[in-house]
Amino acid sequence: MIVHENLKIANMTRSASGTIDRPGRNVAAKSGLNRSVLDAGWGVLLQVLAHKAESAGRELIAVDPRNTSRTCARCGHCAKENRVTQAEFACTACGHTAHADVNAATNIIRAGLALRRAAEAA
């Protein structure tokens, strides 16, 4: 089973609000993110992954990306303050620390397993 966040590529690449003359907030950061998302070819990656998963007889599950990076994988506490830096996760409720990507990946696989259980029960 492979689980990924159901990221909306159109939303991720939408330009930050503002104009050249009156830039919105985080225009530079947003354009950098846009470039990296487009460079990575996220949609193409997911298409290839879907074909590979199918030919290997594996499930590919997309989960809601909301709060996967700010929820503690140990206790479930959800707060933006849990995210110390881009790379660092430190739960303000239970003290759990992990690399932010590892913490989020734990939440993502858990959400995928829950969706699969729900589908089996239906």
Binding site for Zn ion (CB under 5 A): 72, 74-75, 77, 91, 93-94, 96
Structure tokens at 5: 């966040």
Q: Minimum Å distance from CB 72 to Zn ion?
A: 3
| CB-CB contact of 80 with 92 (8 Å) | no
Complex with Zn ion: residue 23 or 76, whichever CB lies closer: 76
Q: Minimum Å distance from CB 73 to Zn ion?
A: 8
Complex with Zn ion: residue 34 or 106, whichever CB lies closer: 106
Complex with Zn ion: residue 30 or 70, whichever CB lies closer: 70
Complex with Zn ion: residue 63 or 91, whichever CB lies closer: 91
Q: Minimum Å distance from CB 95 to Zn ion?
A: 7
Q: Minimum Å distance from CB 59 to Zn ion?
A: 29
